[in-house]
Chains A and B, each alone.
Chain A
Amino acid sequence: MNQEKEEKHILSLMVDNRPGVLSRIVGLFSGRGFNIESLCVAETADADISRITLVTCGDMGVIEQIKKQLNKLINVIKVVDFMDMSFVQRDLALIKVRAKPEHRAEILRITDIFRGRVVDVGSEFYTLEVTGDLEKIDAILGLLKPMGIKEIARTGTIALPREKRK
């Protein structure tokens, strides 16, 4: 409908914590040709409710349709688009990087700069834990790449709205 520019949106969904609910949401995206860039799901403080944080992209018309379609699902209680508000977001990455003796100091220094931690040390590899927004994680990956990254596991984005300040 709209030939507008595509934008990335972080959506937060409160959903019934029941079997099959995630499948309804993922099925909606695949069935209607919407994108999912990342998706994170876990229980909230209320065990009956889960929060799904979902990163998608599309023009305004597509995003509006995504939000409406999600709201239409019986098990979706609330849909919040963080585009409309101030929010904090985090990704967590576990990075297994080759730790040659001549690189070890450099790896530790980079990890320190990014306020990461070394969570596992082997004879050839260090496993680092880094949290931050997407750009920060991409930045550290860029720096570590020349040393040889063996494996990465990332959570995808989670986010919460900021509280109002007095």
Chain B
Amino acid sequence: MTFINESWGVCTIKRTGIEIFLKVLEEEGVDTIFGYPGASVIDIYDALVKTDFKHILVRHEQGAVHAADGYARASGKVGVCLVTSGPGATNTVSGIAAAHADSIPLVVFTGQVPTGLIGNDAFQEVDIVGITRPCTKHNYLVTKIEDLAGSLREAFHIARSGRPGPVLVDLPKDMMSSKAELKPAKSVELKSYQPNYKPNVRQLGKVVALIKKAKRPLILAGGGVILSKGAGELRKFAEAIESPVTTTLMGLGAFPTNTSKWLGMIGMHGTYRANMASANCDLMIAVGVRFDDRVTGKIDAFAPKAKIVHIDIDPTSIRKNISVAIPVVGDCRETLNMLNELVAAQVEGVFNGSRGAWFDQIEEWKSTKKLDYHQKNVIKPQYVIEALHRLTKGEAVITTEVGQNQMWTAQYYHFDRPNCFITSGGLGCMGFGLPAAIGAQIACPDRVVVDIAGDGSIQMNIQELATAVQYGLPVKVVILNNQYLGMVRQWQELFYDKCYAGTCMEHAPDFLKLAEAYGALGLRATRPEQVEPVLREGLSAPRTVVMEFKVEREENVYPMVPAGAPITEMLLV
């Protein structure tokens, strides 16, 4: 076989590492790179600046990874980062771990000292491949220029296929000036990595048999439905089998909220009816979830009456935490699609009303214990989020930080479509929201993008306001300021005799002045009647805006299931 490349002729021409790097990025469809330069990647930057790739200069490498993560979640594409060796590389670790926990496709390029210096404790040398081995889907240290193109192509392939995840490629400085032949791209084939997209049909037959028998079915959908772009299939499936639907935090947006089939989120801060339904269903069809402890509560008491079907593309997710009756390994969308065909052929319409008693029960749970708060003299954080939902017509892309702000957003923004709720679910990484909003805004320049934050977590990556302002990104930051690390304080109030150890943040910057110092617009509401005007002004301003809301200091997130308790043991308002 002769390799002929249209643009370069016969491929015996040698290319430098930089040329290979840029060529592969182009082949992989990369348009935006989030990064921060340094000595080990100065050659890459020198070449990058002369290309059409959009480079977003962040203010901290953790911000680069979260921004690429937000970009990936909002666009469905692979997010790309470029940072230098040593501290540049170590600063990416939290971001990588966050993306890994939520299965987000990223490729992170780290500079490395020249190959001859590796192992010498050189200036800005760390073994980043060793450090990130447990928090990446895979990683590479390229030590031979002949391996460069292959490793780069494999990195993208691994990041986006199967259960997606972050892949790190460590690039020693001398690789960029070394030369090798670049063979034309062909699809990557790895004998040891063959994700299974198509589920076993026999297993699906068993699922359909259970569906026919079930009187009280429940669908539990997770992030896997969103990652596989299966929200439409999920909706069809729920209609066809007449089943109520709950989702995990990561699954919010996979199912519309304006139907009687919608139960709200399950878990530690799930709705009463979702948690009660999980405890009383006789069939649970779990799609693209991994049964995190925040979802299950006490494992032994989880869905005690149900036969559980577990659909996931990652075999390790199945039977890791929960025993299941029918495991199905496959892509969520593909599996739901095949199930829909089987159901249409075999059971469509047979339930016709026979699940009335189940839905009546759910309706009763809903009307007795609904999500609620009472807006009085002091601003309630839930009220701010509901007002934001109203004013954005539920169409904004919302990112969050971590803690109470995240849970209230999950409960009160009513996500109706996928890829609109961008949150660090698995790792729970404070400082995620602002950089993720920057990435999401770049992916969706015409959408309203809002980071809902607390006064604690916003300060973990607040330097990224400079990035937002520099690139003219109209990202909105909503700070629910209660001068506490609210979620931990809530635990202390409820389980530690109100000993507020380390959670009081009475000294904070003046967020209004801080916004202005960064060149953003700063707005503040201290009374309930100011909430809507401030939101209106902030949302309509075509620039980066920080809106601070002085909220009820000791407001709690309810319902709440104490850690390790059965999820039916909810503390209600």
Q: Which residues of A contact B (CB under 8 A)?
A: 1-2, 16, 19-20, 23-24, 27-28, 31, 61, 64-65, 68-69, 71-72, 74-78
* Size range of the chain B interface in the assembly: 20 to 34
Whether, in the assembled complex, B323 has its beta carbon less than 8 Å from a beta carbon of chain A, the answer is yes
Q: Contact at B134–A74, with CB atoms within 8 Å?
A: no
Q: Contact at B191–A77, with CB atoms within 8 Å?
A: yes
Can you list 16 A-B contacts (CB < 8 A)?
Answer: A1-B319, A1-B321, A20-B129, A20-B130, A20-B141, A23-B130, A27-B134, A28-B134, A61-B319, A65-B319, A72-B314, A74-B138, A74-B190, A74-B192, A74-B193, A77-B191
Q: Contact at B323–A72, with CB atoms within 8 Å?
A: no
Q: Contact at B320–A16, with CB atoms within 8 Å?
A: no
Given contacts A16-B192, A20-B129, A77-B192, 17 further A-B contacts (CB under 8 A): A1-B321, A1-B322, A20-B130, A23-B133, A24-B133, A28-B134, A31-B134, A65-B316, A65-B319, A68-B316, A71-B315, A72-B314, A72-B316, A74-B137, A74-B190, A74-B192, A77-B191
Task: Point out the residues of chain B lying under 8 angstroms from A76, CB to CB.
Answer: 192
Question: Could you tell me the distance in whole angstroms from the C-beta of B286 to the nearest C-beta in chain A?
Answer: 15
Number of A-B contacts (CB under 8 A): 43
C-alpha spacing A69/B316, complex, angstroms: 6
Question: Could you tell me the distance in whole angstroms from the C-beta of A72 to the nearest C-beta in chain B?
Answer: 5
Whether, in the assembled complex, B299 has its beta carbon less than 8 Å from a beta carbon of chain A, the answer is yes
C-alpha spacing A27/B314, complex, angstroms: 20
Task: Point out the residues of chain B lying under 8 angstroms from A20, CB to CB.
Answer: 129-130, 133, 141
> Which of B315, B321, B322 neighbours the largest number of chain A CB atoms within 10 Å of its CB?
B315
Q: Contact at B323–A1, with CB atoms within 8 Å?
A: yes
Q: Contact at A27–B323, with CB atoms within 8 Å?
A: no
Among B134, B192, B321, contact of A75 (Cβ-Cβ < 8 Å): B192
Question: Could you tell me the distance in whole angstroms from the C-beta of A24 to the nearest C-beta in chain B?
Answer: 6
Task: Point out the residues of chain A lying under 8 angstroms from B141, CB to CB.
Answer: 19-20
Q: Which residues of B contact A (CB under 8 A)?
A: 129-130, 133-134, 137-138, 141, 158, 190-193, 299, 314-316, 319-323
CB closest chain-B residue, reference A31: B134
Question: Could you tell me the distance in whole angstroms from the C-beta of B197 to the nearest C-beta in chain A?
Answer: 16
C-alpha spacing A149/B130, complex, angstroms: 39
CB closest chain-A residue, reference B317: A68
Question: Could you tell me the distance in whole angstroms from the C-beta of A49 to the nearest C-beta in chain B?
Answer: 10
Q: Contact at B192–A65, with CB atoms within 8 Å?
A: no
C-alpha spacing A20/B132, complex, angstroms: 12
Q: Contact at B133–A72, with CB atoms within 8 Å?
A: no
Task: Point out the residues of chain A lying under 8 angstroms from B314, CB to CB.
Answer: 72
Question: Could you tell me the distance in whole angstroms from the C-beta of B325 to the nearest C-beta in chain A?
Answer: 14
Question: Could you tell me the distance in whole angstroms from the C-beta of B322 to the nearest C-beta in chain A?
Answer: 7
Task: Point out the residues of chain A lying under 8 angstroms from B321, CB to CB.
Answer: 1
Task: Point out the residues of chain B lying under 8 angstroms from A75, CB to CB.
Answer: 192
Q: Contact at B192–A68, with CB atoms within 8 Å?
A: no
C-alpha spacing A76/B190, complex, angstroms: 11
Which 7 residue pairs across A and B have the least CB separation, nearest first? Answer: A77-B192, A68-B316, A74-B138, A68-B315, A31-B134, A74-B193, A69-B316
C-alpha spacing A28/B191, complex, angstroms: 21
Task: Point out the residues of chain A lying under 8 angstroms from B319, CB to CB.
Answer: 1, 61, 64-65
Task: Point out the residues of chain A lying under 8 angstroms from B320, CB to CB.
Answer: 1, 65
Question: Could you tell me the distance in whole angstroms from the C-beta of A57 to the nearest C-beta in chain B?
Answer: 18
Task: Point out the residues of chain B lying under 8 angstroms from A74, CB to CB.
Answer: 137-138, 158, 190, 192-193
